[in-house]
Structure 1
Amino acid sequence: MNNANILIVDDEKNIRLTIAQSLDPLGYQVGTADNGEDALLQLQSQEYDLILLDLKMPGMNGLEVLRRAIEIHPDIKVIIISAHGTIEDAVEAMKLGAVDFLQKPFTPKELRDLVFQVLEIESSKTNESSSYKKEINIAKKWRRKRQFNKAIVHVKQAIGLDPSLPDAFNMLGELQEIEGELLEALKNYRVALDLDPTYKPAQANLKRATQSPKSRPPLS
């Protein structure tokens, strides 16, 4: 998918330039926007395969851009770029339909590897045999379309194929939380962390969910 179109959305010129230069060796077509409003205007006039989207920008923030971008192009892929203090927002963005997130600071190699994975590996899922990765990709597709019950079916199939990886348990927890099953969600966040104590999405989810009033025991 070397002819893929990528839109970089970040209010910092140096970051836009750094990302564009990092992606240049992969041969993609790259556009830039310095704010959310400009990004949405470009999405209405041109089709993009992937958006690299900063969460924290003046004016329209990244979450709102994400919501509206998916309304315009439901199948578009979005990678969230987040600073240290926005991990929980990045996790929330993935619930809204983002496919992954990249934490600042990142190296050019980390960026290229993630973009390649999203555009090249995930885009070839229709040619894959039944596998863990394929089921995760299908679950992400249904989550982007807000068909959460269908997403749960496929993420559970992924767990059945390989129960040693944390991302499926974490995604299952996110889906259960959306469906109002908070206690089940907490269990799956903890399973994800048992499998990999350094897995940041599950860390952020568990911290946020345990601080929710719904997760506290009733007063006697």
Structure 2
Amino acid sequence: MPPPAQPSALVVDDDDSIRLSTAMLLSVMGVTPELAGSGHTALQLMHDRHYDLAIVDLSLPDIEGSDLIAKFHALAPDMLIVIMSGDNDRINRVRHLADHCVEKPMSAHALRSAIDKLLLAHQEMPL
């Protein structure tokens, strides 16, 4: 029996440093990251590939984060969603769209813990 496929994640944030640090964390966790600096780039990538997880900043320059997440749900209903934002009120308004929310500035530990829990729960779901 072949080993399980390495999970993949789409990281959507217009801040280069957050994208790169999140990608490094994911790589260490054994998750293959793909990076998008805009919502439109993320949507293009979604048409070409399936992702197990999306980590999405709500404040993107080209599309409202909640609108992007709605499009993700339409394209890949089984994809896990983690929302990131520095605005706690905004997180609370769209919390229902995500599997987990992380407030910025975020610690690597908090993000890693959230991702670990989501991926573990997702792997244990019956087909």
Do Structure 1 and Structure 2 share a fold, with TM-score over 0.5?
yes
2:95 partner amino acid: M
Deviation at 1:100, TM superposition (A): 1.0
SS of the residue corresponding to residue 126 of structure 1 reads coil
Select the structure that is richer in strand: 2
Contact 2:19 2:35 in 1 (8 A): yes
Aligned to 1:151: none
Q: Can you list the C-alpha shifts for 1:101-150, whole angstroms capped at 9, x where unaligned?
A: 001112112111110111113431439xxxxxxxxxxxxxxxxxxxxxxx
Structure 2 partner of 1:80: 83
Within 5 Å, give how 1:43-122 maps onto structure 2.
Answer: 43-83=46-86, 86-95=87-96, 97-122=97-122
Gaps of 5+ in 2: none
Number of matched residues?
124
Q: Residue 36 of structure 2 corresponds to which residue in structure 1? A: 33
Q: Is the 8 A contact 1:2 1:27 kept in 2?
A: no
Identity %: 25
* Structure 2 SS opposite 1:47: coil
User: 3-state DSSP class of the match of 2:124?
Assistant: helix
| 4+ long deviations beyond 4 Å | none
TM-score (norm 1): 0.53
Matches within 5 A, 1:141-156: none
Greater RCO structure (CA 8 Å; 6+ sep): 2
Provide the C-alpha distance between the structure 1 equivalents of 2:79 and 2:121, rounded to a whole number of angstroms. Answer: 15
What is aligned with 1:23?
26
For normalisation by structure 2, the TM-score amounts to 0.89
Secondary structure of 2:34's aligned partner: strand
- Return the structure number with greater helix share: 1
Give the distance between the partners of 1:55 and 1:19, measured in 2 at CA: 15
Cα RMSD of the aligned pairs, angstroms, is 1.7
